[in-house]
Amino acid sequence: MSGVRVLVGTRKGAFVLTSDGKRAQWAVSGPHFGGWEIYHLKGSPVDPNRLYASQSSGWFGQLIQRSNDGGKTWESVGNKFVYDGVPGTHQWYDGTPHPWEFKRVWHLEPSLTDPDTVYAGVEDAALFRSTDGGQTWQELSGLRGHGSGPRWMPGAGGMGLHTILLDPSHPGRIFIAISAAGVFRTDDAGKTWRPINRGLHSQYIPDPNAEVGHCVHRIAMHPSRPGVLFMQKHWDVMRSDDAGESWHEVSGNLPTDFGFPIEVHAHEPDTIYVVPIKSDSEHYPPEGKLRVYRSRTGGHEWEALTKGLPQRDCYVNVLRDAMAVDALDSCGVYFGTTGGQVYASADAGDSWTPVVRDLPAVVSVEVQTLP
């Protein structure tokens, strides 16, 4: 029987949660790298035993860990992330130029075809790639150097490149997103890039319709329909039907359209999930009720999913990389909270159960569907 492996990154280590296809009983392994911030872990789609993890610390900097046995054992690989050429400057919070400085890896995205190729989205925002299993890293500097870089600025959490979407139908096409710069696309495997933010509207920047400067929190796609993108922006839930060339709002009847993650059902490309958060000043659910919202129409019309989730006195947040789906017949949906809970739904969100309740604050959740 197939099963799932849930990879959880937290402020104080990594945890691996495993279950069979019923997703009712869970085994918890961890903490791995106890005491370290684990921003993200992700497995290779072509070799599920190959995992990569971003391990970091304010004291000791960045490390990359690699596993070849599904997370049972780990080895540290290369941690030398050096910007290509003279790094230059981006905007600081006060609008002054600020030198590009590497701080950490926010997101690791293994290649769709080669377990030794993996992309890293870093703070200060840049995209790196390794083709030797993480031993060495090279910047795809066409992104940072394409021209708009000096106008990028950090979001409240830093200027991180947090989303990397590899288009399965166009091998050279990659979408990335940066807080607070926006979405960018390459069609030539990372040599050249351009911003794709037309239709985004952000009141918190001098020109609300600017080419760059938007605080995009997360983008998502369904692999069967990679031209359709969904976005949770700082405010607004957005959709593009032309691979990012233009965006339109699909917030519809959401109680608030601020939030961080957005995810797509594994088998229904028009079923999407968000977790509305009260506001950018109050990073917790409205009314103290933790609700996932699901749209089965690709946006506009949303329903609250509450069964099994706390509906009073709940003031946790769900961060941008902390939601994922599995690919079992009945799609599983998972998310982690800053309160240390990881919730799972084995019925596409209709009902939820906490897998664990008391982990450190959850930063990221990824799911592997195992044969």
Partner 1 sequence: MIRVVLPYHLRTLARVGGEVTLDVEGRATQRSVLDALEARYPTLRGTIRDHVTQQRRPLLRFFACAEDLSYEPPDAPLPDAVASGAEPFWVVGAIAGG
Residues in contact with partner 1 by CB under 8 A are 35-36, 57-63, 76, 79-80, 82
d(CA 69, CA 74): 8
Which of 246, 243, 271, 273 shows the shortest CA–CA distance to 260?
273
| Cβ neighbours around 185 below 10 Å, total | 20
Would you call 149 helix, strand, or coil by DSSP?
Answer: helix
Q: Residue 76 or 138: which CB sits closer to partner 1?
A: 76
Q: Residue 59 or 312: which CB sits closer to partner 1?
A: 59
Query: Are 96 and 113 spatial neighbours (Cβ–Cβ below 8 Å)?
Result: no
Distant-in-sequence, close-in-space partners of 35: CB < 8 Å, separation ≥ 6: 12, 13
| Residue 9 beta carbon to partner 1: minimum distance, rounded to whole angstroms | 16
Q: Residue 77 or 324: which CB sits closer to partner 1?
A: 77
| Residue 52 beta carbon to partner 1: minimum distance, rounded to whole angstroms | 16
Q: Pairing mode, if any, of strands 342-345 and 333-336?
A: antiparallel
| Residue 39 beta carbon to partner 1: minimum distance, rounded to whole angstroms | 15
Instruction: Report helix, strand and coil shares of the chain as percent, to nearest 5.
Output: 0, 45, 55
d(CA 332, CA 265): 8
| Residue 72 beta carbon to partner 1: minimum distance, rounded to whole angstroms | 16
Query: Are 227 and 242 spatial neighbours (Cβ–Cβ below 8 Å)?
Result: yes
Residue showing tokens 């860990």: 65
Q: Residue 36 or 247: which CB sits closer to partner 1?
A: 36
| Cβ neighbours around 86 below 10 Å, total | 9
d(CA 226, CA 359): 34
Q: Residue 37 or 263: which CB sits closer to partner 1?
A: 37
Give, as one character, the DSSP assignment of residue 302: -
| Residue 128 beta carbon to partner 1: minimum distance, rounded to whole angstroms | 13
Residues in the chain: 371
Q: Residue 103 or 296: which CB sits closer to partner 1?
A: 103
248 pairs with which residues across the strands?
239
Would you call 287 helix, strand, or coil by DSSP?
Answer: helix
| Residue 139 beta carbon to partner 1: minimum distance, rounded to whole angstroms | 13
Q: Residue 61 or 88: which CB sits closer to partner 1?
A: 61
| Residue 84 beta carbon to partner 1: minimum distance, rounded to whole angstroms | 13
| Residue 65 beta carbon to partner 1: minimum distance, rounded to whole angstroms | 10
Would you call 100 helix, strand, or coil by DSSP?
Answer: coil
Please report how many Cα atoms fall inside a 13 Å half-sphere around the Cα of residue 261, on the Cβ side: 29
Distant-in-sequence, close-in-space partners of 329: CB < 8 Å, separation ≥ 6: 267
Q: Residue 35 or 97: which CB sits closer to partner 1?
A: 35
| Residue 36 beta carbon to partner 1: minimum distance, rounded to whole angstroms | 7
Residue showing tokens 């391990």: 55
| Residue 25 beta carbon to partner 1: minimum distance, rounded to whole angstroms | 31
